[in-house]
Amino acid sequence: MKILHTADWHLGKRLDRFSRLEEQIPVMEEIIGIADEEKVDLVLVAGDLFDSFNPGVDAIELFYKTLKRLSQNGKRPVIAISGNHDSPSLISAPDPLARECGIILIGHPKAEVLPFDTDYFKISESRPGFIELSIQHLGFPVRVLHMPFANEIRLKEYFGENKEEEINKVLSETWKKLADEFCDESGVNLLTAHLYMNKKDAEILEEPEGEKPIKIGNADLIYSDIIPDQIQYTALGHLHAFQNIGTAEKPVIYSSSPLCYSFSEAGQKKYVSIINAEPGKPVSFEKKILKSGRSLVRKTFTSVEDTIWWLKENQNTFIELTLESETFLTADERKRIHQTHNGIVHLIPKVKSQVTTDQKEHEINLNQDIGVLFKDYFKSKNGGQEANEELINLFNEILNT
């Protein structure tokens, strides 16, 4: 069988004042196209479906339309779990209707999905945190352990753990019990979760800039070695770069977000994972690159003319722009820069430090003209840089007001 794994859609995401919804529409089309082209039998969406607990109408509409098309109107099962950006109740609410389209929405940890069947597949077994699918054209069952994002409060509610008990132990025991009972070599065995997970003794993985950090209970880290041996592939969400923290034989994959969502992701390529699986054998997987969306770029320039030339040549970008110069940018220079490009998220002027020769402390004469005091103050705070005429005029305008 073939499986498509994707995660961290963050539908409704904004980058400062810029909405990303216009880019999310074509990248969802890409994911649907890959699923159809690869003829996948199952789709896993591993959390952070939306960017906020209360997504806008446009984001919700895009979400439902995408899932319906991924499911081919009920022919292909789609399993989507909530992440730390999602409201579990919002994700779970439409489940009865979604099931009519072959979509399984799981909002809460240890949720028990009610069994149902379509003309193409059915849920043949269900327990809290586990489902088994029988897909019509496959000669074997597909087992999925599922773990939506669980904060400390949700864990207490659903697992009843002691405050001192580590999340590693809670998850390890829960997953092992389910795997030992249901996951033998007669079927394909999968796990999907929205967690901050690391490989033991490996470098700690960085969470994306601007991403809500995940800390669960009293344990900072969850390690991939707690995944039961029976699990052939683990589909994770939360980290936005594609990476395997498992092994080649038993991959534990962060599939990446479909777009770059913060400047810490500048230059990253984005993917979905296509998995080939059969009972009792190691899986293989392939990264399928996603090409939609504007790239995110951090650039530093030392002249306005160089800045404008680069901006004209790189229109399909969002930019964090730093401009180093001897003097502060004038209003006209700022205007020229912003008129050249419509994707400037941050413009950071940086005046080169000037070392003053007079390092001695001197007494401040507060009886001086306030304009002279302002010039002295500005110079002392900016490495000896003189305030330009435009700034002086603005200061005088404020005084006169």
pLDDT-based confidence at residue 44 (cuts at 50, 70, 90): very high
Structure tokens at 153: 């409060």
Give exposure, 301-340, as e/b (b: 16+ Cβ within 10 Å).
beebeebbebbeeeeebbbbbbbebeebbeeebbebbeee
Cβ(64)–Cβ(78) below 8 Å: no
Q: How far apart are CA 147 and CA 167, in angstroms?
A: 13
The dihedrals phi and psi of 113, each to the nearest 5 degrees, come to -80, 130
- Classify residue 196 as exposed, middle or buried by CB count within 10 Å of its CB (0-12, 13-18, 19+): buried
Classify 312 as helix, strand or coil: helix
DSSP 145-174: EEE----HHHHHHHH---TTS-HHHHHHHH
Give ∠ CA 84-259-222 in degrees, rounded to 5. 35
Give the torsion sign (CA, 240, 243, 245, 249).
positive
Classify 276 as helix, strand or coil: strand
DSSP state of 74: T
Give the pLDDT confidence of 210-233 residue by residue, as tens digits.
665 555 444 456 888 899 999 999
Looking at every residue in the chain, the average pLDDT score rounds to: 87
Among the listed residues 53, 71, 23, the one whose alpha carbon sits nearest the alpha carbon of residue 257:
23
Classify 390 as helix, strand or coil: helix
At residue 335, what is the residue type? K
- Classify residue 353 as exposed, middle or buried by CB count within 10 Å of its CB (0-12, 13-18, 19+): exposed
Q: Which residue shows structure tokens 């065995």?
A: 189
Q: How far apart are CA 307 and CA 311, in angstroms?
A: 6
Give the pLDDT confidence of 304-342 residue by residue, as tens digits.
899 999 999 999 999 999 988 877 788 888 899 999 999
What pLDDT, on the 0 to 100 scale, is given for residue 106? 93
Give the pLDDT confidence of 93-102 residue by residue, as tens digits.
887 788 888 8
pLDDT-based confidence at residue 356 (cuts at 50, 70, 90): very low
Helix (H) or strand (E) holding 300: strand 295-301
Q: Is the pLDDT of residue 376 over 90?
A: no
Give the pLDDT confidence of 163-193 residue by residue, as tens digits.
445 677 888 889 999 999 999 999 999 999 9
Conformational region of residue 84, where left means phi above 0, alpha means psi within -120 to 50, and beta covers everything else: alpha
- Classify residue 86 as exposed, middle or buried by CB count within 10 Å of its CB (0-12, 13-18, 19+): buried
Q: Looking at mean pLDDT, say which of 22-26, 245-249, 302-306 comes out highest.
A: 22-26
DSSP 3-17: EEEE----BT-EETT
Q: Is the pLDDT of residue 143 over 80?
A: yes
Q: How far apart are CA 326 and CA 115, in angstroms?
A: 69
